[in-house]
Structure 1
Amino acid sequence: LQRTGLAALVTVYGPRTKAEAMIEGVVRMHGRVSGRTSEGEPYHATDPELLDWVQATAGFGFMEAYHVYVHRLHFFERDTMFAEARPVALLYGAVGAPTSQAELYALFDLMRQRLVASPIVLEFLQIMEDVPVLPGVAQPLQRPFLKAAVEILPRWVRKRLALGDHWTLKPWERAFVKTTAAICESMVLPSSPAVQSCRRLGLPENYLYRRQKAPRHGQYGRDHAGFDVRIRESDGLKVRQWPP
């Protein structure tokens, strides 16, 4: 998990030469990974469809966590994230990864019938709960962060994985997660990859911490099909309506 986090930071904030070298190493490692699922279906880590899914869900996780716990993202910001991730996705081999919010939801709809529950998911969550990431007396606070990660999943995914109400944040836990996220968002640390990338480009250290003003669409945005779109926060589904 730490290696995955490091790869994400280098990919987003690192110098191009270092990022490309790291990605080449990841691709070589993926070339050695293969096997069969619990249903007997063969897989290889370099399968284009699998790479597209990993790229899509990773982007969704980062984006949705920021949207829910830090700052609301407008549709143009979501689409921008997918568009800017396109060059990196190609380097990883994810040639069909979503390039917009609309394409992400289309992929979710496509994969809905193929995804199955696996005990590995629960094993992973148990490991993340038991491993002492936070020091000493703060360790019990790991669970709210873990629940926060589960809570941003679409409702149908949680239902299929049997991640019930015990994985839903309590009000005080949600407040704690949001407060912690707000503090982290406001901390401009000189040693952070984001600040170092700004320095390298001759930009102010807080450049990436500034927010752009979003266009006023009320609670609606515009998707690539020309529909007015609203995100229903309770289950992450997209509701389409014809323009008035």
Structure 2
Amino acid sequence: MIVKHLDSAATRLMGLDGTDFRQPAGEPALLPPDSVSWRVFRNPVTMYVGGIAAVLLELGEPRVRHGVWDHSSFKRDPAHRMRRTGAAAMVTVYGARSQFEALAARVNRMHAQVQGETGDGRAYVASDPELLLWVQATASWAFLQAYHRYAEPLTQAERDRFYAEARPGAALYGVDAPPASEAAMDALMMRMRPQLEPSPVIEELIAILRTADILPRALRPVQKLGVRAAIDLLPPEMRRQLGLAGQTLRPTERMLLKLLARGAVRFELPSSPARQAEARVADRGSYGSGALATS
């Protein structure tokens, strides 16, 4: 009974009510179950920390910041926006390919309608390839780094494979050449760093995420810890550039997060997207040997 209640609560928290990853029966996802992405995305603790870290990096870029803050519900209802974003991430990795293709098409239509000017008069449109690349790449970086730091260390080959696995999904979102390795991601971070800047919006977002109704009241301390962990995850030079220097975790807090993340690996709820998707693709004939699909 306790597991059933936890399962139901987790489904609501992730915005997955009504999403059935068991259907259509037998249809493969974009990536096979033995991919690094399936392993990384099934950890809710590191996905939470990584998701916030990705948003902080995205909002550091002025054009992305205006596109997100001025044209979405993030400020009005951050819990709903985070759940929607988390649900989209789950569909990207675990959803049937047809389900993900439909989602990507909807997102692309919405992006085509988002345009405006930054405070200093620079025009932007959400479908700009450079902005799409930054949003996609920072999400990959943050999810990977959070998992690598708190759930389990990944080898260099596994980290490079994770980036390579993101390419088919990124292409459907209009990102033609995402980083295909950790070295390529490091180069992108270095190239984009001069464009990042502090903003009151980032400070406002952090304050909202600490107090918004995202996790149940009993888990609010964990919610606040996750926000600090997301800031701590950012490279030191980028923390300084975004005006977040000094906001780091204590060693005891890092240890607590490791315990939570590793506990999430050992105790997975029955209706998790990964488990449902595993049941859907139990007949893996469509994958052949299970090798990575690259197109």
Q: Which runs of 5+ in 2 are unaligned?
A: 1-81, 285-295
* Higher relative contact order (CA closer than 8 Å, sequence separation 6+): 2
Given the two structures, how large is their TM-score scaled by the length of structure 1? 0.79
Structure (1 or 2) with the greater helix fraction: 2
**Match of residue 181 from structure 1:** 261
Q: Equivalent residue for 1:139? A: 220
SS in structure 2 at match of 1:35: strand
Of residues 121-130 and 131-140 in structure 1, the stretch that sits farther from structure 2 once superposed is: 131-140
CA contact 1:144–1:174 (8 Å) conserved in 2: no
TM-score when normalising by structure 2:
0.66
Return 5+ residue gaps in structure 1 as ranges. 205-244
Q: Which residue of 1 aligns with 2:281?
A: 201
Give me the whole-angstrom Cα distance separating, in 2, the residues matched to 1:137 and 1:200: 34
Runs of 4+, deviation exceeding 6 Å? none
CA–CA distance in structure 2, aligned partners of residues 39 and 172 of structure 1: 42
Equivalent in the alignment of 1:207: none
Contact 2:151 2:258 in 1 (8 A): yes
1:100 to 181, 185, 199: 181
Q: Deviations over 1:39-68 (max 9, x none)?
A: 321111000011111111000010000011
1:54 to 120, 135, 157: 135
Percent identity of the aligned residues?
Answer: 44
Instruction: Describe how 1:29-48 pairs up with structure 2 within 5 A.
Output: 29-48=110-129
Distance in 1 separating the partners of 2:210 and 2:268: 29
**Residue 196 of structure 2 corresponds to residue 115 of structure 1:** yes
Quick check: 1:23 aligned with 2:108? no
1:154 is matched with 235
How far did residue 190 of structure 1 move?
A: 2.1
Paired with 2:132 and 2:187, the residues of 1 have a C-alpha distance of 16
Look up the SS of the partner of 1:112 in the other structure. Answer: helix
- 2:211 equivalent in structure 1: 130
In 2, Cα distance between equivalents of 1:203 and 1:129: 43
Worse-superposed segment, 31-40 or 122-131: 31-40
Name the structure 1 match of 2:252: 172
2:133–2:175 Cα contact (<8 Å) kept: yes
1:162 positional shift? 1.5
Shift of 1:203: 7.1
> Is the CA contact (8 Å cut-off) linking 1:48 and 1:96 kept in structure 2?
no
Q: Deviations over 1:182-215 (max 9, x none)?
A: 11111232201111111111179xxxxxxxxxxx
Q: Which amino acid aligns with 1:121?
A: I
- Higher relative strand content: 1
CA deviations over 1:137-186 (Å, ceiling 9, x no partner): 43133211111111111111100111122x21122221221111111111
Number of aligned pairs?
203
SS at match of 2:88: helix
- For residues 217 and 167 of structure 2, what CA distance do their matches in structure 1 show? 41
What residue number does 2:10 align with? none
